[in-house]
């Protein structure tokens, strides 16, 4: 326990904040350590973000601009993950089930606080797919009921709905979108025009992963609720990136991955269900009280990675140190930083809005006459810049996604590379 206390103190010092795990910090009171990080108010903007970079093990040799897929974990989180793995290995059944299993509650509380919801509405799971598949398969629908969704929704969720269509006879109603778009009325009507008396659920992706389009979720949700339709939101690319609370979206169900913009360990996620609807959602995995209104019925995963769960808190500490609003502003700045410097090139096509209402961190760019795979290949082979290729619906380009540790120097190199490739 002494070693554990020392570890938490060292990690807290690295983040300039007290440890997340309240039960231990209360049991062993600590004076606030002198932070390694300087106060935000004492730093220039550039100095602040360079300081944040030191919290990550960012490669000096490869520029990672595919943070939209999965983000790296901070050093403190990696240390925590290693520590808890070693702890569990000393006596797994004791430390996992009698110690760390109880530590999930302060974590649940802190995640709920960031999301602006009741902790009793939050379940901790492994990713957006698990959270949203739990909801998709758990909603009470019958043959002939309609679900409105878009072809730009994430494939794992689309396939889940298709399975219900094949197996149970529900009907999927597809929304065709022309993206990017900055026309709120168009986006709202694209969904609302598909609502009918048989529509029971509308599935909305808050930030489209293919090109970073931000959708007017609240406006669509209000139209849906006015028609008695429930709203499910895929927030994989919006939580811990956009400055909002879940109630702001006006939805009924919501899921996210914490290993994206929260920078938590890989395979960590979160699900939210409005309290009055928990009892009517079936858990994806078996539970002795499937109709319970206890959110924990969705956490019956058997043996799970307790070290992964516990380490989430250290990424949450760093996120709170930065602040969601500041992170959103910075990542929108970085996206526009490179886009503004290439948009006038004759062969360039941008698939992402530069307006902060409609785009944030994710940007997508294509070059006329050049296959996206060759574009991405040239960036990696000649410049050691890692991106991902997106060919989906009307989007045919490469997705570029910086994170808080990305520097403008790295984006200057990206801009130079795009200019040369486009030429």
pLDDT of residue 27: 32
Collapsing DSSP to helix, strand or coil, 71 comes out as coil
Domain ranges of the chain: 104-314, 325-422
pLDDT of residue 218: 98
Contacts of 268 (CB under 8 A, 6+ apart): 124, 126, 127, 257, 258, 259, 262, 308, 309, 312
Identical fold for domains 104-314 and 325-422, yes or no, is: no
Say which residue, 102 or 209, is predicted with more confidence. Answer: 209
The pLDDT confidence band at residue 38, using thresholds 50, 70 and 90, is: low
CA 151 – CA 128 distance, rounded (Å): 18
CA 317 from centroid of its chain's CA atoms: 16
Are 400 and 414 in contact by the 8 Å Cβ rule? The answer is yes
Which uninterrupted H or E stretch holds 401?
Answer: none
What's residue 17's pLDDT?
Answer: 38
Region 131-148: mean pLDDT is 98
Give dist(CA 100, CA 119) in Å, integer.
18
Band of residue 210 on the pLDDT scale cut at 50, 70, 90: very high
Lowest mean pLDDT among 35-44, 247-256, 302-311: 35-44
Residue 34 has pLDDT above 70, yes or no: no
d(CA 216, CA 143) in angstroms, rounded, equals 30
User: Binning pLDDT at 50, 70 and 90, where does residue 33 land?
Assistant: very low
Give the pLDDT confidence score for residue 39 in this predicted structure.
52
CB 124 within 8 A of CB 309: yes
Which DSSP string do the residues of 117-145 spell out, in sequence order? S-GGGEEEES-HHHHHHHHHHHS---TT-
Q: Are 51 and 75 in contact (CB under 8 A)?
A: no
pLDDT in tens, 174-207: 999 999 999 999 999 999 999 999 999 999 999 9
| Topology classification of domain 325-422 | 3.90.1150
123, pLDDT greater than 50: yes
Decide if 228 contacts 259 (C-beta within 8 A).
no
Task: Flag whether pLDDT at 335 surpasses 90.
Answer: yes
| CA distances for 38 relative to 35, 57, 252, 314, 322, angstroms | 7, 19, 40, 18, 12
Q: φ and ψ at 397, to 5 degrees? A: -165, -160
* Per-residue pLDDT, 35: 35
CATH of segment(s) 104-314: 3.40.640.10
User: Mean per-residue pLDDT for 392-419?
Assistant: 96
414/15: higher pLDDT: 414
pLDDT at 29 over 80: no
In sequence order, what E strands does 324-405 have?
348-350, 363-367, 385-386, 388-392, 395-400
d(CA 226, CA 244): 22
Please tell me the least confidently modeled range out of 41-50, 110-119, 163-172, 363-372: 41-50
d(CA 26, CA 23): 5
| pLDDT at 37 > cutoff 50 | no
Looking at every residue in the chain, the average pLDDT score rounds to: 90
Q: Is the pLDDT of residue 291 over 70?
A: yes
DSSP state of 147: E
Q: Does residue 412 surpass a pLDDT of 80?
A: yes
Give percent of the chain above pLDDT 70.
90
**Window from 73-87, 111-125, 191-205, 296-310 with minimum mean pLDDT:** 296-310
User: Which of 277, 240, 278 has the alpha carbon at shortest distance from 256?
Assistant: 240
Give yes or no for residue 48 having a pLDDT over 80. yes
Question: Of the ranges 44-48, 86-90, 230-234, 277-281, which one carries the lowest mean pLDDT score?
Answer: 44-48
Is the pLDDT at 24 greater than 60? The verdict is no
**Distance between CA atoms of residues 184 and 77, nearest Å:** 39
pLDDT for 97 equals 86
Within a 10 A sphere around the Cβ of 74, how many other Cβ atoms? Answer: 26
């Amino acid at each position: 326990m002494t070693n554990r206390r020392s570890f938490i103190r060292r990690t807290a010092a690295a983040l300039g904040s007290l440890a997340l795990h309240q039960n231990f910090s209360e049991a062993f009171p600590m004076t606030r350590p002198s932070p390694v990080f300087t106060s935000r108010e004492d730093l220039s903007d550039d100095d602040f973000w360079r300081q944040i970079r030191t919290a990550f093990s960012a490669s000096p040799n490869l520029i990672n601009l595919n943070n939209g897929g999965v983000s790296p974990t901070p050093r403190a989180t990696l240390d925590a993950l290693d520590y808890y793995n070693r702890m569990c290995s000393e006596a797994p059944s004791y430390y996992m089930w009698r110690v760390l299993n109880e530590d999930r509650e302060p974590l649940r509380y802190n995640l709920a606080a960031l999301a602006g919801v009741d902790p009793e509405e939050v379940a901790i799971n492994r990713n957006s797919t698990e959270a949203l598949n739990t909801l998709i398969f758990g909603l009470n629908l019958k043959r002939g009921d309609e679900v409105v969704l878009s072809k730009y929704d994430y494939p794992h969720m689309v396939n889940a709905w298709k399975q219900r269509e094949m197996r149970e006879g529900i009907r999927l109603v597809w929304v065709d979108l022309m993206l990017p778009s900055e026309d709120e009325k168009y986006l709202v009507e694209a969904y609302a025009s598909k609502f009918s008396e048989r529509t029971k659920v509308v599935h909305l992706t808050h930030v489209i992963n293919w090109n970073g389009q931000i959708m007017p979720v609240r406006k669509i949700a209000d139209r849906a609720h006015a028609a008695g339709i429930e709203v499910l939101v895929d927030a994989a690319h919006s939580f811990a990136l956009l400055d909002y609370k879940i109630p702001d979206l006006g939805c009924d169900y919501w899921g996210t991955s914490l290993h994206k913009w929260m920078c938590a360990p890989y395979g960590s996620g979160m699900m939210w269900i409005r309290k009055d609807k928990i009892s009517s959602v079936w858990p994806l995995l078996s539970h002795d009280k499937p109709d319970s209104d206890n959110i924990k019925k969705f956490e019956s995963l058997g043996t799970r990675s307790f070290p992964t769960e516990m380490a989430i808190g250290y990424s949450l500490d760093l996120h709170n140190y930065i602040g969601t609003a500041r992170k959103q502003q910075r990542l929108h700045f970085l996206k526009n930083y490179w886009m503004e410097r290439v948009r006038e090139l004759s062969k360039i096509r941008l698939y992402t809005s530069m307006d902060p209402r409609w785009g944030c961190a994710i940007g997508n760019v294509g070059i006329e006459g050049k296959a996206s795979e060759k574009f991405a290949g040239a960036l990696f082979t000649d410049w050691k810049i890692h991106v991902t290729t997106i060919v989906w619906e009307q989007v045919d380009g490469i997705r570029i996604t910086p994170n808080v540790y990305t520097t403008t120097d790295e984006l200057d190199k990206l801009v130079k590379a795009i200019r040369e490739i486009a030429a």
